[in-house]
Structure 1
Amino acid sequence: MTNVKNSTSVSESQQSICDWAEKIFGPVADPRALVTRAMTEMKELDEAVVDRDLSEIGREAADVIILLYRLVDQFGLDLDHEVQAKMAINRARQWSAKGDGTGSHI
């Protein structure tokens, strides 16, 4: 069993999360394993949304983000930087709303 500290005073970052994960789970042999696990967590997130379980929605969404931090780190990328860069692209695009809260660029 792993040693888990419950502390809300730590301000997490991609680096601190990746360091923790490598210490607990070991190095990533194949980054696709992180994608597969994130897809599992997305299914759990979907179930939490169907159930409207707010605390579970938050936890499952966090699990997905944690896995994405670790995934992009495997390629030397910073997820927060990638989000900022992508939003700059998105803000410059023209969009077509689908009427369900989503859409696609034109």
Structure 2
Amino acid sequence: MTESQQSICEWAEGILGPVTDPRALVTRAMTEMKELDEAVSDRDLSEIGREAADVMILLYRLVDQFGLDLDREVQAKMAINRARKWSAKGDGTGSHI
């Protein structure tokens, strides 16, 4: 089975119940980001993949609460990003100018 935002959200609601406060998903995603940071620090490839997936699952659920499609939002944001001028920091990050 190929997972989608819809299948993930349906599974999560069936197992965990409905979201009563979307901020709870943000809080949980921040916890998962800390775990992802630890996995990256340890260079644990399998754990990096699992923790990154946990973050994505929570993001899918979060945007779904507002009737948004995360994949569509990423496509729209990348169109904006590609049209901007960027200043690189030299560490693989940067900001638009």
TM over 0.5, shorter chain: yes
User: Which of 59, 67, 78 is equivalent to 1:76?
Assistant: 67
Q: Percent identity?
A: 90
TM-score (norm 1): 0.91
What number of residue pairs does the alignment pair up? 97
Name the counterpart of 1:48. Answer: 39
| Amino acid corresponding to residue 21 of structure 2 in structure 1 | D
Name the counterpart of 1:92. Answer: 83
TM-score (norm 2): 1.00
Which of the pair is proportionally richer in helix?
2
Q: Distance in 2 between matches of 1:25 and 1:98?
A: 41
Q: Distance in 2 between matches of 1:29 and 1:81?
A: 24
RMSD, aligned α-carbons: 0.2
Structure 1 gap segments, 5+ residues each = 1-9
Q: Which has the larger radius of gyration?
A: 1
Structure 2 gap segments, 5+ residues each = none
Name the counterpart of 2:22. Answer: 31
